[in-house]
Amino acid sequence: MTTSAKPSLRFFHSAALRTRSKKVLAAVERDEDPTQHAGALAMLVVDLTEAGLKYYFLKPLHQAQVGFVARQTASLGMAGSLRVMSPIIRSILAGTNATQMRVIARHIRQLM
């Protein structure tokens, strides 16, 4: 089954994040040594993850008028998860080579 034929989901994020995504991915794709952009790519992955979690989880809680305490608990839990994930993402991407980094950037670009 081709990628386009598989079921998929998408989420909307800010124009600023979209602009930054394009800039970071272009830098990784074009630079002779894309590994120098590992930090920027890691931050982008974290920010896209956060935007997706907000869109898929926090937004529907708000729309469903789930209580304030439950929404705050969900928000704090999500923030805690991102705090744990961020250094792991940075560490993994810092250890990738140029080819691996370009593959990761290409995958993110295909999601756009």
Percent of the chain whose predicted confidence (pLDDT) is above 70: 96
3-state DSSP call for residue 97? coil
For the whole model, what pTM was predicted? 0.87
pLDDT at 54 over 90: yes
Nearest in space to 107 (alpha carbons), one of 34, 29, 53, 5: 29
